[in-house]
Amino acid sequence: MKTHKMKMLLMLLSVLVSCLDGIAQTVSRISGTVVEYKDDAALPVPSATVSLWRTDSTLVNNTTSDLKGKFQLKDIAGGDYFLKVSCIGYAPAYVALKGLKDKLDMGIIELVPEAAALDEVAVEANSIVRKIDRMVVYPSADAVKHSYDPYDLIANLMIPRLHVNQFNKALETDGGSVQIRINGVKATQAEYLAIPAEDIKRIEVVDNPGMRYGDTGIGMVVDLIVKRREIGGTVYAKIMSCPYQLHLDPTFSLKLNHKKSQWGVYYSSTFRDAKKSYFDTDESFYLGDRVIHRIKEGLYAPYRNAWHNIDLTYNLYDVDNYTLNVAFHNSLYNVPYGDSRSRMYDAGNPDYIISHTQSDSHSYTPSLPHQKSPDLIECFSFQFLLS
């Protein structure tokens, strides 16, 4: 009898522990707003089906959006999921949710009419729709723990088609360049490096950006959505150098926050000083049935350059209402010695000539950049975003 009671007690304790563990892992809610864009206006999409799926395609929960396009999913356990939003007459939208463990406000999720989506496949410029290919990645606690900066974090997340050059601290993709942004505002590499990995709430990846980001050569846009500090700031410094000659690549950044305001100073430089530099060149020219094979043997010549980039920024941010971003960029380029010397001759011919070119160049380009984006109401060189 005592043995039976002991077994019952152990069973009750195991059930209680399982319940407590489930309660500890549940998320209060996942919320958001489903909209359709028409003439830059966000119109709510009511009665859209919002379903949450595990990575093994098991349905976890679902709901529908109300008349204002809003939805909520409650009592979701932590883990990896993907969210599907669908409605009759619209192309479905998918969002990856990795390492879900807290309350989550998805913000705006856009649905695109099926007719518009078909037009975009046909590559008609007038039918380009914003955010149709956006993937939202929520970094897991483990990925953040093993990352120092955004480049480390993106590498650890292994986002499809997005590659990280850890040596140069750069993002690469197939079929074009990568435009980087912070909270929707175009950013520089120095600004990216100034963000601690633990401040990144999510990463939004647009792998078919189109003209809305201002450059047809862009293959992908990576937008970091980061936490805003109300007080304090961050400092970042890095120096890369060559051990046997003067070859420096320093980077420095400073960000200060006070309530809704943020001030930033970013500096990067490239400095080269080689008293003995040379370039070897092997050229072939095909002229009908005749081939000219010319060889240039590099001879020692001095080379020195210095490139300084200085950015001053101010950002005023209210998560629900507006963003004001002002940036002043300044680039100074100085090459006092860009000389080149070479011994030039045709292959198989002992006769040669000496070529010697002396050159210097300088530039000074301050600018207040003008960035185009349908999300931004622009005034001269200032960006002002209303939501």
Q: Is residue 211 part of a domain?
A: yes
Count up the domains in the chain and report the number.
3
pTM of the model: 0.49
- Indicate if 209 and 352 belong to the same structural domain: no
Q: What are phi and psi of 374, to 5 degrees?
A: -60, -20
Kindly report, residue by residue over 16-62, the tens digit of the pLDDT: 544 444 444 555 678 999 999 887 788 999 988 898 888 776 778 88
Q: Is residue 21 part of a domain?
A: no
Instruction: Answer yes or no: are the C-beta atoms of 30 and 72 closer than 8 Å.
Output: yes
Residue 212: domain span? 133-227
Q: pLDDT: is 27 or 286 the higher one? A: 286
* CA 258/CA 233 separation, integer angstroms: 9
Per-residue model confidence (pLDDT) at position 320: 58
Per-residue model confidence (pLDDT) at position 27: 58
Please compute the mean of the pLDDT values over residues 185-202 and round it to a whole number: 84
Residue whose pair of structure tokens reads 């679902």 in the numeric block: 62
Please compute the mean of the pLDDT values over residues 332-361 and round it to a whole number: 87
* CA 114/CA 28 separation, integer angstroms: 33
Position 323 pLDDT exceeds 70: yes
Q: pLDDT: is 231 or 380 the higher one? A: 231
Q: Please report, for the domain that includes residue 76, its CATH number.
A: 2.60.40.10
- Indicate if 235 and 222 belong to the same structural domain: no
Instruction: Answer yes or no: are the C-beta atoms of 244 and 272 closer than 8 Å.
Output: no
Please compute the mean of the pLDDT values over residues 75-93 and round it to a whole number: 84
* CA 250/CA 235 separation, integer angstroms: 14
Tell which of 163, 198, 227 closes a domain: 227
Per-residue model confidence (pLDDT) at position 117: 47
Please compute the mean of the pLDDT values over residues 307-325 and round it to a whole number: 80
- Indicate if 166 and 94 belong to the same structural domain: no
Per-residue model confidence (pLDDT) at position 44: 92
Kindly report, residue by residue over 146-187, the tens digit of the pLDDT: 888 888 888 888 777 888 887 778 898 876 789 998 888 888
Per-residue model confidence (pLDDT) at position 143: 81
Position 115 pLDDT exceeds 70: no
Name which of 192, 179, 99, 95 is nearest 138 in CA terms. 99
Tell which of 205, 227, 249 closes a domain: 227
Residue percentage of the chain with pLDDT more than 90: 8
- Indicate if 161 and 223 belong to the same structural domain: yes
- Indicate if 283 and 370 belong to the same structural domain: yes
- Indicate if 251 and 319 belong to the same structural domain: yes
Under DSSP, is residue 365 helix (H, G, I), strand (E, B) or coil?
Answer: strand
Q: Is residue 7 part of a domain?
A: no
* CA 56/CA 40 separation, integer angstroms: 37
Please compute the mean of the pLDDT values over residues 328-350 and round it to a whole number: 86
Position 302 pLDDT exceeds 90: no
Tell which of 125, 146, 165 closes a domain: 125
- Indicate if 223 and 152 belong to the same structural domain: yes
> First-to-last CA distance in the chain?
68
Q: Is residue 287 part of a domain?
A: yes
- Residue 352 amino acid letter: Y
- Residue 150 amino acid letter: P
- Indicate if 171 and 285 belong to the same structural domain: no
pLDDT category at 72 given cuts 50, 70, 90 is very high
